[in-house]
Amino acid sequence: MEVFLEKDRVNCGSQILIFDSKKTLKSKLTAEEYKIVINQIEKDTFVDVSFPGEQKLIGFLDLKNQEYNRRLGAEIENEIKNKTVIFDFSSNPDGIYSFLEGTMLNGYLFDKYKSKVRSSSKKGALISSNITEETLVELNTIVEGVFKARNWVNEPVNKLNTSQFIKEIKSFKKIGVSVDVFRKSKLEALSMGGILGVNKGSCDDAALVKVEWKPKKPRNRKPIVLVGKGVLFDTGGINIKTGGSMEEMKADMGGASIVLAVLKVIAKQELPIHVIVLTPITENRINGKELVPGDVIKMHNGKTVEVLNTDAEGRLIMADALTFAKKYNPCLVVDAATLTGSAFRITANHGAVIMGTDQKNLKALKKAGEKVYERLIELPMWEEFEDTLKSNIADINNLGSTEGQAVCAGFFLKNFIDYPWLHIDIAGPAFRGSKLHYLPKGGTGFGVRLLYQFFKDNFVN
Q: Give the type of residue at 459.
A: F
Residues 6 or more apart whose Cβ sits within 8 Å of residue 5: 125, 126, 127, 128, 131, 133, 136
Q: Is 241 among the catalytic positions?
A: yes
Q: Is 116 among the catalytic positions?
A: no
Backbone angles phi, psi at 27, to 5 degrees: -75, -20
Cβ count near 137 (within 10 Å) = 14
Backbone angles phi, psi at 231, to 5 degrees: -85, 105
Q: Give the type of residue at 447.
A: G
Q: Say if CB 424 and CB 451 are below 8 A apart.
A: no
Specify which residues 15 forms β-bridges with. Answer: 56, 85
Q: Give the type of residue at 451.
A: L
For 214-348, where are the E strands, in sequence order? 224-228, 230-234, 275-284, 296-298, 304-306, 332-337
Backbone angles phi, psi at 452, to 5 degrees: -65, -45
Helix axes 405-414, 314-325, angle to 10 degrees: 30
Identify the DSSP state of 214: -
Candidates 229, 315, 414, 449; catalytic one: 315
Rg of the chain in Å (alpha carbons): 24
Instruction: Classify the phi-psi angles of 442: left when phi > 0, otherwise alpha if psi is within -120 to 50, otherwise beta.
Output: left
**Residue 225 in 3-state DSSP?**
strand
The per-residue b/e assignment along 262-294, b for 16 or more CB within 10 angstroms, e otherwise, is bbbbbbbbebebbbbbbbbbbbbbbeeebbeee
Specify which residues 180 forms β-bridges with. Answer: 210
Candidates 241, 326, 367, 375; catalytic one: 241
Residues forming the active site: 241, 315
